[in-house]
């Protein structure tokens, strides 16, 4: 079933058919929402038709996606998504919360949330016969594109800032993508990727530019719906904490919940709380000022994955919080490091941008924005193994001892 009707601009609301545009609105550069044939989907499917599908991956939601699943099977691309949902009891008690869940996106094939977007974009590239997919990336989007592309033999070119954490650069290289490090920041790499796609006829995956990335990211909302909302009868609204850089994850989550609501499968929208690093807070600043004008910043934060001067999906990211009765909050780099250490103590290893969402929950509790009986879900968007240098800053050094019992005794004291 082909359910892709076309696109609608998030700025001017102009609608386009599927072959008219590829990336953003030609009139104003606005991000495009993918339009699905909701009434055809309603006629064809009940929720059980989706939740009874066998795939333990985001492909269980293929009927609600604008791409088909690549024909190979059993590749990493086919296992993106369907990440575990934990219930960390001790953490909940220490925070004074009755119901706390943590969804660990570090468990994706390349260890970040970005696999969701890259799996869908690579599937789209296959469908339109693109020879090469290019992306700019602070690291994770590139690693995800490189990994998903390698899985099905697609060529990929990655433009990343030369300052990206070494583990992320290693992933890019190991997955066999053509890796070019840019002596500049993410925003400059972004513009170069757009230009290169135009110049060389490549397909561009850039976050918040290619409308299919949000379609991939929305699958996390479907999973929260299936793993939690269909299971628990909440009498209070679920609040979801997610870190925000370009704003494509939060807008993708919003799109997913809107799709479910439009299908009539979701009554109450979860509240979306976007968390930014203090040093990279363009969306949070616009939210606080109650304006849709997003002013670029000079980003500086330890959380490299959300270090963004100009959020490329800022408007939709802003609306995701506004339209769900959510908020934006900011946290300091110190709070992010503390969050890494606290999550580690319940068995979850997060990279700085992943732990940012949890740091945001603590800030929200301090500010009295969350009640003890509010159900809360925190997304960890990336694995701590992505940035070991930052992780080491979150803990004190291990002592080095002589290999004797007496030295061990002394060290244990």
Ligand X SMILES: *Cc1c(COP(=O)(O)O)cnc(C)c1O
List of residues 6+ apart from 383 with CB closer than 8 A: 106, 107, 111, 112, 349, 350, 351, 354
Taking the least distance from each CB to ligand X, the nearer of 8 and 254 is: 254
The option from ligand X, Zn ion, none interacting with 12 (CB < 5 to 8 A, set by class) reads: Zn ion
Residues 214, 67: Cα–Cα separation, whole Å = 13
Taking the least distance from each CB to ligand X, the nearer of 175 and 265 is: 175
Alpha helices, DSSP H only, in 103-211?
Answer: 114-128, 140-152, 166-174, 186-200
Taking the least distance from each CB to ligand X, the nearer of 140 and 227 is: 140
Q: How many CA atoms lie within 13 A of 96 on its CB side?
A: 9
Q: Identify which range of 109-117, 165-173, 331-339, 388-396 contacts ligand X by CB under 6 A.
A: 109-117
Taking the least distance from each CB to ligand X, the nearer of 79 and 305 is: 305
Using CB under 6 A, pick the residue from 148, 158, 228, 353 that binds ligand X: 353
Q: Is 354 in the site for ligand X (CB under 6 A)?
A: yes
Taking the least distance from each CB to Zn ion, the nearer of 12 and 371 is: 12
Using CB under 6 A, pick the residue from 146, 152, 244, 378 that binds ligand X: 244
List of residues 6+ apart from 293 with CB closer than 8 A: 286
> Measured from the CB of residue 31, what is the shortest distance to Zn ion in angstroms?
9
Residues 270, 318: Cα–Cα separation, whole Å = 15
Q: Is 330 in the site for ligand X (CB under 6 A)?
A: no
Q: Is 276 in the site for ligand X (CB under 6 A)?
A: no
Going edge to edge, which strands form the sheet with 327-331? 85-86, 100-104, 376-380, 239-243, 271-277, 327-331
Q: Identify which range of 119-127, 168-176, 242-250, 337-345 contacts ligand X by CB under 6 A.
A: 242-250
* DSSP H helix total and E strand total for the chain: 16, 13
DSSP structure string for 322-334: HTTT-EEEEE-HH
Q: How many CB atoms lie under 10 A from the CB of residue 411?
A: 12
Q: Identify which range of 10-18, 107-115, 153-161, 218-226 contacts ligand X by CB under 6 A.
A: 107-115
Q: How many CB atoms lie under 10 A from the CB of residue 6?
A: 18
> Measured from the CB of residue 311, what is the shortest distance to Zn ion in angstroms?
17
Using CB under 6 A, pick the residue from 243, 280, 301, 330 that binds ligand X: 243
> Measured from the CB of residue 18, what is the shortest distance to Zn ion in angstroms?
17
Q: What is the CA radius of gyration of the chain?
A: 21
The option from ligand X, Zn ion, none interacting with 171 (CB < 5 to 8 A, set by class) reads: none
Q: Is 140 in the site for ligand X (CB under 6 A)?
A: yes
Both tokens of 309, joined, read 């001067």
Q: Identify which range of 23-31, 192-200, 241-249, 253-261 contacts ligand X by CB under 6 A.
A: 241-249
Using CB under 6 A, pick the residue from 210, 227, 305, 307 that binds ligand X: 305
In the complex, which residues of this chain contact Zn ion (CB under 5 A)?
9, 11-12, 14, 25, 27-28, 30
Q: Is 115 in the site for ligand X (CB under 6 A)?
A: no
> Measured from the CB of residue 164, what is the shortest distance to ligand X in angstroms?
11
Taking the least distance from each CB to ligand X, the nearer of 140 and 219 is: 140
The helix/strand/coil state of 35 is strand
Q: Is 143 in the site for ligand X (CB under 6 A)?
A: no
The option from Zn ion, ligand X, none interacting with 11 (CB < 5 to 8 A, set by class) reads: Zn ion
Q: Burial-class residue 378 by CB neighbours within 10 Å (0-12, 13-18, 19+).
A: buried
Q: Is 246 in the site for ligand X (CB under 6 A)?
A: yes
> Measured from the CB of residue 208, what is the shortest distance to ligand X in angstroms?
7
Residues 220, 223: Cα–Cα separation, whole Å = 5
The option from ligand X, Zn ion, none interacting with 9 (CB < 5 to 8 A, set by class) reads: Zn ion
Q: Is 382 in the site for ligand X (CB under 6 A)?
A: yes
Q: Is 6 in the site for ligand X (CB under 6 A)?
A: no
Q: Is 112 in the site for ligand X (CB under 6 A)?
A: yes
Q: How many CB atoms lie under 10 A from the CB of residue 249?
A: 32
Residues 305, 114: Cα–Cα separation, whole Å = 11
Distances (CA, A) of 305 to 169, 186, 245, 410: 13, 10, 7, 40
Q: Is 351 in the site for ligand X (CB under 6 A)?
A: yes
Are 158 and 146 spatial neighbours (Cβ–Cβ below 8 Å)? yes
Going edge to edge, which strands form the sheet with 155-161? 178-182, 155-161, 132-136, 203-204
Instruction: Looking at residues 357 to 376 of the shown chain, list those that interact with ligand X (rule: CB under 6 A).
Output: none
Residues forming the site for ligand X (CB under 6 A): 112-114, 140, 207, 243-249, 305-306, 351, 353-354, 381-382
């Amino acid at each position: 079933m082909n359910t892709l009707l076309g696109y609608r601009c998030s700025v001017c609301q102009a609608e386009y058919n599927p072959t008219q545009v590829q990336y953003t609105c030609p009139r104003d550069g606005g991000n495009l929402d993918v339009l699905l044939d909701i009434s055809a989907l309603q006629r064809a499917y009940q929720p059980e038709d989706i939740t009874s599908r066998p795939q333990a991956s985001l492909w269980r939601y293929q009927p609600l996606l604008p791409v088909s699943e690549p024909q190979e099977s059993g590749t990493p691309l086919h296992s993106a998504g369907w990440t575990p949902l934990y219930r960390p009891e001790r953490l909940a008690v220490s925070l004074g919360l009755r119901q706390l869940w943590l969804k660990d996106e570090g468990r994706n094939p390349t260890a970040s949330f970005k696999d969701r977007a890259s799996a869908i974009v690579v599937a789209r590239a296959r469908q339109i016969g693109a020879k090469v997919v290019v992306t700019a990336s602070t690291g994770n989007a590139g690693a995800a594109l490189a990994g998903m592309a390698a899985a099905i033999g697609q060529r990929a070119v990655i433009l990343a800032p030369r300052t990206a954490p070494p583990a992320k650069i290693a992933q890019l290289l190991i997955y066999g993508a053509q890796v070019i490090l840019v002596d500049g920041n993410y925003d400059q790499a972004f513009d170069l990727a757009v230009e290169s796609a135009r110049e060389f006829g490549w397909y561009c995956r850039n976050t918040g530019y290619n409308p299919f990335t949000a379609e991939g990211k929305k699958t996390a909302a479907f999973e929260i719906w299936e793993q939690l909302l269909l299971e628990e009868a909440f009498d209070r609204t679920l609040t979801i904490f997610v870190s925000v850089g370009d704003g494509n994850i939060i807008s993708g989550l919003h799109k997913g919940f809107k799709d479910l609501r439009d299908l009539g499968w979701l009554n109450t929208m979860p509240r979306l709380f976007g968390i930014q690093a203090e040093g990279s807070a363009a969306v949070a600043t616009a939210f606080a000022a109650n304006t849709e004008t997003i002013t670029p910043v000079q980003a500086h934060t330890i959380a490299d994955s959300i270090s963004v001067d100009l959020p490329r999906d800022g408007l939709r990211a802003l609306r995701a919080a506004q339209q769900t009765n959510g908020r934006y909050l900011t946290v300091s780099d110190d709070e992010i490091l503390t969050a890494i250490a606290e999550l580690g103590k319940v068995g979850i290893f997060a990279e700085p941008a992943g732990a940012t969402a949890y740091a945001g929950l603590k800030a929200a509790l301090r500010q009295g924005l969350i009640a003890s009986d509010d159900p809360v879900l925190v997304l960890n968007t990336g694995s701590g193994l992505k940035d070991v240098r930052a992780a080491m800053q979150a803990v004190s050094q291990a002592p080095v001892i002589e290999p004797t019992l007496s030295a061990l005794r002394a060290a244990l004291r």
